[in-house]
Amino acid sequence: MNDRIRSSLAWVLHSPRRLVAVLGAVVLVLVLVAALDGEDEHQEQDAKPAPSRSAPRSSAPASPSPSTPPDLNAALDTGRAVVALWASHQDRDAWLRDLKPHVTERFAARLASVDPDRIESRKIGKARNTDTGGDTLTSVAVSTDAGPVTVNLMWQGERWWAYAIEPGAQPEA
């Protein structure tokens, strides 16, 4: 094993050109891995909202303009509406249809695999903002008869969109 390492190092160090080429390849691989990892972390923020028959689509920018800052009261309303629909126990098609105007396309696709009959919550209570991730992200905790439910929201196109829901997840106040 040591002979292999020695011979590999000797090959790399044989000329400055080889050393630069090997170091360049290592840096390139590290940059590509970091770029791919960064894409996964930001996919939800880049997701487009689900199309809706009841909400007209606009070509508004993904970030708010100075004239229309995000309203955290609207975030509370959206979070509470999403949890109310989440706990509504309708048949799957109606449940998904009613949730789609409030959620991103990616989240709507994930919700398609959820069985609404298995959701324990039946009644909802008060809602409160639990975390604000800058100007365009927030979380809303909604109390239910089955425990707290947290809805993660993003501001896009002049309104709040749910991109995740976490039953039982609520940071300490």
pLDDT in tens, 80-134: 999 999 999 889 999 999 999 999 999 999 999 998 888 888 899 998 988 777 7
Where do runs of H (alpha helix) occur along 68-164? Answer: 72-86, 92-99, 105-111
Identify the pLDDT of residue 150.
93
Indicate the CATH number for domain 72-167. 3.10.450.540
Task: Identify which of 63-67, 137-141, 166-170 has the greatest average pLDDT.
Answer: 137-141
Place 45 in a pLDDT band, splitting at 50, 70 and 90: very low
> What percent of the chain is modeled with pLDDT above 90?
35
**Do 162 and 104 form a contact (C-beta atoms < 8 A)?**
yes
What predicted TM-score, i.e. pTM, was given to this entire model? 0.59
Task: Give yes or no for residue 39 having a pLDDT over 90.
Answer: no
Higher pLDDT, 45 or 26: 26
Strand, coil or helix: what is 18? helix
Place 62 in a pLDDT band, splitting at 50, 70 and 90: very low
The whole-angstrom separation of Cα 121 and Cα 89 is 9
Domain borders along the chain are 2-46, 72-167
The residue behind tokens 């840096």 is 27
Task: Give yes or no for residue 47 having a pLDDT over 80.
Answer: no
The whole-angstrom separation of Cα 71 and Cα 129 is 12
